Amino acid sequence: MNLALATRDYRTPLILAGLSVCLLVATLFSLSVGAVSIPVKDVAVILLQKLGLFRNVTVEGMHEIVLSSIRLPRIIMTILIGASLGVSGSALQALFRNPLVEPSLIGVSGGSASAVVMVIVFGSALPLPVNGWLYHSLLQLVAFGGGMLATFIVLELSSQLGKTNIAILILTGVAINALAGAVIGLAIFYADENQLRTFTFWTLGDLGGATWDKLRFAAPLLTTACAGLLFFAPSLNLFSLGEAEAYHTGVNVESTKRRVIIFAALAVGISVSLSGIIGFVGLVVPHVIRVSFHSDNRLVLPASVLGGALLLVLSDVIARTVVSPSELPIGVVTALIGAPFFMGLLMNAKRKHEL
Amino acid sequence: MYQATHLSYRIREKILLHDVTLAVAPGQFTAVVGPNGAGKSTLLKTMALEYTGYHGEIVINGRPAKAYSPRELSFVRAVLPQNTTVQFAFTVEQIVSLGRHGYRSSRKENEAIVDEVMLLTGTDVFRGRSYLSLSGGEKQRVQLARVLVQVWEETLYPRYVLLDEPTSSLDIAQQQHIFSLAKKVCERNIGVMAIVHDLNQAVLFADHLYFLREGKLVASGAAHDVFTKPIIEETFCCRVNVYRDPCNNCPYIIPERDVLAHPLVVEK
């Protein structure tokens, strides 16, 4: 009789375990491919040696260097950014009660990117050594602020009597993205010729250039933001009924909303400051999880952490290999997957008269 | 008791509620009736503490409502809105379980309560289905189940359920189903306050009736006493006739065909 109950109880940990295994396999695969091909077995041995195991097995020294100074920081950054984009996408979707919400579409990423670019180009007057840890944390702080400002603007403009007006939501995203594009363009205009290439970095994303230095502050912050969002999964379930309904059921609506926005802006802002704007991860991942399994945020949020990381790791493999030895901007890959997907969602919304 | 005394609510200069005094007793069905725009929904939302800028006093079980935290409030009162739109494909059972959000009780206890309420509301037959695939009446019954699991547990203090036109777009059978369920839960030391559009349904199920017009109370009292031709005509500005059902002695109305030649002058 309680079949539904039983399946619900046992499925969530199983799904999460399955996704973790997929992520692990993809990670090992990603670490092994590239200009220097390292066998997966060696990758595993080097990783385990870092944990103090298999000390007696010898591996090629060059492999060790490539792995620990180039590929390892890059994969960690990829996983953290994918997880952050995935979980903030699903949290914002729950908060806005709409599956069309995505950090780059509604302007959160654009807000972060334009704030960072302004500091990079016009901040040369600041008495700070470029590329020092202080400089990096300033960039991350600014990215966080820009993202939060954008989220608040979107939320204020699109909410009508406690419900989200989807047309205004999407149009606000268009406006903020246009503004962000203009700001980035303007900054690049005043930048020297060498910095021109960074325009691609900020608008289409780039996972290269990951260093342990950059991760020192970003990694704990991104982990905190992801963990913080997971904590709100039960309250976000109530939000899907409506803000008034969430309040009636005992949720402190305003404080939940504020905290979710702060954590999401932190996750997106830090990600953008590390890698530029990588679109559509936060749109595709939660949707696939909802369609494949169910919509309970206690599954969707943690699964988006794993699924976002998985998607970005695989996209990165594609970006690095298809035009090897050159590299595609990662945003090209995610947009090629995500944009048709978004159009599909829009068609679905149109059919249901939601636009 | 769930009491509101001298309740007033205004948005800028517009007065939406003026000096309304109302009490919902545990174990009783209290209905609020009135024409469109009379402030019924505003009254319910203010009572539910959804609107906080009111004047006057709201007291729940002897304690001022403003002293309750949102979570504490969720233990004493549950609210069913006119309609709830859900964008994501939750299953019926997941929606109903959402009502247990504030509780720290074990999963087993929660599931027992959810099972019991779903059986009572007849929603157990589609428990595994997606909420989005249900008809209007089924959706409203699922929402009612969600609201009921929130206050289902027998406690030392009385609980309350506020229903905002729960049957506004439903057929007569669904209306009857919802109201008889609401009436039935009164037995569990629960007080029900409902905004009811259909006057005959209101007098059939309610113990107490409040007539609201232009944000003011026109009349209130035991349902059978105040359900009279003059009070209804004054509240709704239309001509009706009140009869009595010979079987159960319950009054009912039949509106007249012609509108009032001289509509009652509205007092400002």
Q: How confident is the model at residue A3 (pLDDT cuts 50, 70, 90)?
A: very low
Q: Closest to A244 (Cβ–Cβ): which among B50, B89, B150?
A: B50
Q: Measure A3 CA to nearest chain B CA, in Å.
A: 9
Hey, are the CB atoms on B128 and A290 less than 8 Å from each other?
no
Average pLDDT over residues A134-156: 84
Q: Give the model confidence (pLDDT) of B145-161 as tens digits.
A: 999 999 999 889 999 99
Hey, are the CB atoms on A244 and B93 less than 8 Å from each other?
no
Cβ count near B108 (within 10 Å): 8
Q: Measure B98 CA to nearest chain A CA, in Å.
A: 7
- Residues with Cβ within 8 Å of A188's Cβ and at least 6 positions away in sequence, in order, are A117, A121, A195, A196, A198, A199
pTM above 0.95, yes or no: no
Chain B residues closer than 8 Å to A238 by CB = 98, 101
Bigger pLDDT: B267 vs B209: B209
The phi, psi pair for A260, rounded to 5°, reads: -60, -40
Q: What is the pLDDT of residue A187?
A: 80
| Interface residues from chain A to B (CB-CB < 8 Å) | 2-5, 8-9, 94, 97-99, 163, 234-235, 237-238, 240-242, 244-245, 247-253, 290, 294-296, 354
Q: Give the model confidence (pLDDT) of A238-267 as tens digits.
A: 998 888 899 999 999 888 988 898 899 889
Hey, are the CB atoms on A249 and B102 less than 8 Å from each other?
yes
CA–CA dist B142, A241 (Å, integer): 12
CB pairs under 8 A between A and B: 86
Q: What is the pLDDT of residue A128?
A: 66
Query: H/E element holding A164?
Result: strand A163-164
- Amino acid at residue number A249: T
Q: Measure A333 CA to nearest chain B CA, in Å.
A: 27
User: Residue A119, Cα to own-chain centre: how many angstroms?
Assistant: 22
Percent of chain A with pLDDT over 70: 90
Residue of A nearest to B89 (CA): A295
Hey, are the CB atoms on B89 and A250 less than 8 Å from each other?
no
CA–CA dist B52, B49 (Å, integer): 6
Hey, are the CB atoms on A248 and B90 less than 8 Å from each other?
no
Q: Closest to B101 (Cβ–Cβ): which among A99, A251, A294?
A: A251
Residue of B nearest to A241 (CA): B86
Q: Measure A48 CA to nearest chain B CA, in Å.
A: 39
Q: Closest to A97 (Cβ–Cβ): which among B81, B87, B127?
A: B87
Chain A residues closer than 8 Å to B91 by CB = 4, 294
Q: How confident is the model at residue B260 (pLDDT cuts 50, 70, 90)?
A: low
Q: Give the model confidence (pLDDT) of B69-85 as tens digits.
A: 999 999 999 999 888 88
Fold of A76-351: ABC transporter involved in vitamin B12 uptake, BtuC (1.10.3470)
Q: What is the pLDDT of residue A4?
A: 41
| pLDDT above 60: residue A76 | yes
Chain B residues closer than 8 Å to A294 by CB = 89-91, 94
The phi, psi pair for B217, rounded to 5°, reads: -75, 130
What are the sequence ranges of the domains in chain A? 76-351
Range list of H helices, chain B: 40-47, 70-76, 92-97, 107-121, 136-150, 172-185, 199-205, 223-226, 229-236
- In this structure, of A168-172, B17-21, B42-46, the range with the lowest mean pLDDT score is A168-172
Q: Give the model confidence (pLDDT) of A177-209 as tens digits.
A: 898 888 888 887 877 766 666 666 777 888 887
Q: Measure B45 CA to nearest chain A CA, in Å.
A: 9
Assess contact for A259 and A232: CB atoms under 8 A: yes
Average pLDDT over residues A5-9: 45
Average pLDDT over residues A331-354: 81
Hey, are the CB atoms on A248 and B50 less than 8 Å from each other?
yes
> Which ipTM value was assigned to this complex?
0.90
Q: Measure A342 CA to nearest chain B CA, in Å.
A: 16
Residue of A nearest to B100 (CA): A249
| pLDDT above 70: residue A8 | no
Chain A residues closer than 8 Å to B131 by CB = none
The helix, strand and coil proportions of chain A, stated in percent and rounded to the nearest 5, come to 75, 0, 20
What's the number of domains chain B is made of?
1
Q: Measure A295 CA to nearest chain B CA, in Å.
A: 5
CA–CA dist A210, A71 (Å, integer): 9
| pLDDT above 80: residue A237 | yes
Tokens coding A181? 């594009």
Which residues form the domain of B9? Answer: 2-255
Residue of A nearest to B127 (CA): A4
- Amino acid at residue number B249: N
Hey, are the CB atoms on A253 and B70 less than 8 Å from each other?
yes
CA distances from A332 to A88, A309, A338, B161 (A): 21, 17, 10, 53
Chain B residues closer than 8 Å to A248 by CB = 48, 50, 73-74, 77-79
Q: Closest to A4 (Cβ–Cβ): which among B45, B93, B99?
A: B93
Q: What is the pLDDT of residue A157?
A: 85
Q: How confident is the model at residue A163 (pLDDT cuts 50, 70, 90)?
A: low
Q: Which of B167, B116, B109 is nearest to B143 (CA)?
A: B167
Hey, are the CB atoms on A238 and B81 less than 8 Å from each other?
no
Assess contact for B202 and B179: CB atoms under 8 A: no
Percent of chain A with pLDDT over 90: 28
Q: Closest to B81 (Cβ–Cβ): which among A9, A240, A244?
A: A244
What is the pLDDT of chain A when averaged over all its residues? 84
Interface test with A, best of B84, B87, B97, B116 (most A CBs within 10 A): B87
| pLDDT above 80: residue B193 | yes
Q: How confident is the model at residue B203 (pLDDT cuts 50, 70, 90)?
A: very high
- In this structure, of A8-22, A308-322, B203-217, the range with the lowest mean pLDDT score is A8-22
Q: Closest to B99 (Cβ–Cβ): which among A8, A98, A249?
A: A249
Hey, are the CB atoms on A241 and B84 less than 8 Å from each other?
yes
Q: Is residue B262 part of a domain?
A: no
Hey, are the CB atoms on B91 and A4 less than 8 Å from each other?
yes
Hey, are the CB atoms on A249 and B98 less than 8 Å from each other?
yes
Bigger pLDDT: A146 vs A131: A146
- Residues with Cβ within 8 Å of B65's Cβ and at least 6 positions away in sequence, in order, are B49, B58, B59, B73
- Amino acid at residue number A47: L
| pLDDT above 70: residue A1 | no
- In this structure, of A78-82, A155-159, A161-165, the range with the lowest mean pLDDT score is A161-165
Angle, helix A72-96 to helix A297-321, in steps of 10 degrees: 140
Hey, are the CB atoms on B89 and A294 less than 8 Å from each other?
yes
Chain B residues closer than 8 Å to A295 by CB = 88-90, 94
DSSP string, B189-225: TEEEEEE-S-HHHHHHH-SEEEEEETTEEEEEEEHHH
Q: Look up the CATH number of the domain holding residue B116.
A: 3.40.50.300
Bigger pLDDT: A89 vs A36: A89
Residue of B nearest to A291 (CA): B89
Q: Closest to B86 (Cβ–Cβ): which among A5, A241, A290?
A: A241
- Residues with Cβ within 8 Å of B1's Cβ and at least 6 positions away in sequence, in order, are B23, B24, B25, B26, B59, B60, B61, B62, B158, B191
Query: H/E element holding B9?
Result: strand B2-11
Q: Give the model confidence (pLDDT) of A84-135 as tens digits.
A: 999 999 999 998 888 888 888 888 888 888 888 888 777 766 666 666 677 7
Hey, are the CB atoms on B91 and A99 less than 8 Å from each other?
no
